[in-house]
Amino acid sequence: MQREIGVLKTTLFTLAAALLAGCAPAPHPQQTKACDLPAIQKPKQPLRHYLQKTDRPLTAGKSAFYPLPLPKDALATRLFLIDHATENLDVQYYIYETDTIGHLIAYHLYMAAERGVKVRILLDDISTTGKDKAIATLAQHPNIELKLFNPNRLRKSFRNLALLLDVNRLGKRMHNKALIADHIAAIIGGRNIGDVYYASSEETLFLDYDVITIGRLVPQLEKAFSLYWNSEVSVDAGEVIDINDKNSPVRASCILENSIERFKHSIIGHEVYHNSILKKLQQGSLTFTVAKRTDLFYDHPQKVLTDENNNTYHISTQVDEALKKVERELIIISPYFIPSDKILARFKHLRQKGVDITVITNSLASTDVFPVYGGYVDSIKPLVAMGVHLYELKPSVLKRLKKQKGLDHVPALSLHTKLIFADDSRMVIGSANIDPRSEKLNTELVVFVSCKKLAKEEKALVKQVLKQENFYKLSYGLYPKSVYNDTAFYGPIWKTKEKGKTKIYYGPPHSGFWKRIGADLIRLLPVKGYL
């Protein structure tokens, strides 16, 4: 099985090389005539025809899964679902960038609408700053409905000030991520829509994890989407922004055409259009693994309108119940990791039962949100004291390939995977982090998958790459006197391997002066509950 979670040993070169083709979004050309967008071949068969192969019979009440850890596979599968839908597409994302990948997905959605597919797009409004024209273009199509979740009514001036003054409302966001096609298949997981999630950025690659699913889970995901779509917090785009710009489609056609051409001639574009998973999908030979049991949990959209301590609409209770049932081993992968007192107490109880616990998160150097690291760092001591194996990702994992492969540039890695393994039989996949924001402020969606085959295979791949060449292993202890001018000092210790030799750091490695200062400042402020 040629797939891995995180830093994939057998595909590091592919991921690194793919990034060399990334590029920034094109400026808006001043066009008076629409550009010619390339046509997409109409599907020859209903979507169901391509997604029927399973490792055992998919009986009523069961769901089946295929993992999508690689960016090229995750993108190719999304495009396949969009291009082969004949009835409807439901699209729900926290972030939708107007970069190359954003334009690519928009083009495929637009062409689906052109052939009569009903498209519903629900976007959280937190990241739509400066994107109103792009949103308006999609919203103008008669077969596309577009809503914004918990929108900020100020679109330009004072937008950030409105967020600051109304943080109790605007600070609560929809973090769910799902793409659902024709009532047949869905993709869920951690990826948003943007270059950094699909190896199309030169600067950063987010290591992430999705699955495509068929069976019983799909109508459940549709029900969840409809709940959000019909919520009072979801507002028609036309009520928030001007969607009547007649020149918008003309500009958009040329922007999309430029982005599509760049993508087609990029390395990642070649990887997407010629990869093995796309061929299997086209041949109907992609084999899904049938799970013994699947449980879907999601926050109610009313969560963003209620007090953060009111658990009525939260999924945190269900996640805690899942942790209670662990008997031997727990592995948590969370890019933004700030364990609450309740989680620490749960860990302590599990350790007393003899459960082996591993936590994998971002280092200060690899994280894209340094304040989160400031909220997490004080948890290092109690975690390692109770025997938790704590690892942080090294952003420079791909750099050693520069000399080996003669590459001019490789991206920095940042962890974005949200994944839990409970023993050898269960996985938790979805959008939620282990932090206060996921627990109390944002809405989330997670799926508990009971499947020994899938969990065992995916966990084995995690362990395969969990080496000190790729991660820092954390401990806590006495620093050498020379570190603090001959003063005895205890603190976190980062241990790794560099050039084949063990290397120890007594501060967040390779993180830079300003990141360290920022994280230290966050530790002093009463903002942990908002991180």
Single-letter residue type at 242: D
The CATH architecture annotation of domain 9-24+48-289 reads 2-Layer Sandwich (3.30)
DSSP-derived 3-state class of residue 493: strand
Judged by DSSP in three states, 175 sits in coil
Tokens of 78: 């999304």
**How many other C-beta atoms are found inside a 10 Å radius of the C-beta of residue 213?**
27
Name the nearest CA neighbour of 326 among 353, 301, 307: 353
**Nearest Cα to Cα of residue 418 among 4, 71, 2, 5:** 5
Residue 33 reports pLDDT greater than 70: no
- Confidence (pLDDT) at 36: 65
Confirm whether pTM is higher than 0.75.
Answer: yes
Per-residue confidence at 401, pLDDT binned at 50, 70, 90?
A: low
Residue boundaries of the structural domains of the chain:
9-24+48-289, 293-530
The Cα–Cα gap between 56 and 46 comes to 22
CA 480 – CA 484 distance, rounded (Å) = 8
What's the CATH class of domain 293-530?
alpha beta
pLDDT computed for residue 226 by the predictor: 98
Residue 129: pLDDT band with limits 50, 70, 90 = confident
Alpha-carbon 174 to chain mean position: 13
Q: Which of 98, 142, 112, 116 is nearest to 37 (CA)?
A: 112
Q: What angle do CA 303, 313, 421 make, to 5 degrees?
A: 105
Q: How far apart are CA 266 and CA 20, in angstroms?
A: 8
Q: For residue 6, what pLDDT is reported?
A: 33
Sign of the Cα pseudo-torsion (300, 419, 97, 42, in order): negative
3-class DSSP assignment, residue 504: strand
What lies within 8 Å, CB to CB, of 454 at 6+ separation is 65, 67, 289, 291, 427
Residues 6+ apart with CB under 8 A from 327: 353, 355, 423
Across 248-269, average pLDDT: 79
Quick check: 73 and 81 in contact, CB under 8 A? no
Q: What is the pLDDT of residue 15?
A: 30
Q: What's 457's DSSP letter?
A: H
**What is the per-residue pLDDT across 165-182, written as a single tens digit (0 to 9) for each?**
778 888 999 999 999 999
Average pLDDT, integer, range 45-70:
96
pLDDT tens digits, 434-469: 999 999 999 999 999 999 999 999 999 999 888 878
392 C-beta neighbours (distance < 10 Å), count:
28
SS3 at position 27: coil
Average pLDDT, the chain: 87
Q: How far apart are the first and last CA of the chain?
A: 37
Which comes out higher in pLDDT, residue 252 or 490? 490
| pLDDT > 50? residue 12 | no
H helix or E strand, kind and range, residue 73: helix 71-84
- In the predicted structure, residue 23 carries a pLDDT above the cut 60: no
Closest CA to 180 of 377, 273, 47: 47
**C-alpha angle with apex 64: 61 to 68, nearest 5 degrees?**
150
Side chain identity at residue 202, one-letter code: E
Q: What is the pLDDT averaged over residues 244-254?
A: 67
Average pLDDT over residues 370-380: 96
Residue 80: pLDDT above 50? yes
Which DSSP category does 254 fall into?
A: H
Tally the C-alpha atoms within 13 A of residue 10's C-alpha that lie toward its C-beta.
10
Is the separation of the CB atoms in 199 and 398 below 8 Å? no
Asked if pLDDT for residue 252 goes beyond 70, the answer is no
Q: H-type helices in 248-296, by residue range? A: 248-264, 267-273, 276-283
What is the C-alpha separation between 417 and 465, in angstroms, rounded?
14
d(CA 101, CA 116): 23
Helices 248-264 and 100-114 sit at what angle, rounded to 10 degrees?
A: 120
**Per-residue tokens: 490:** 């205890």
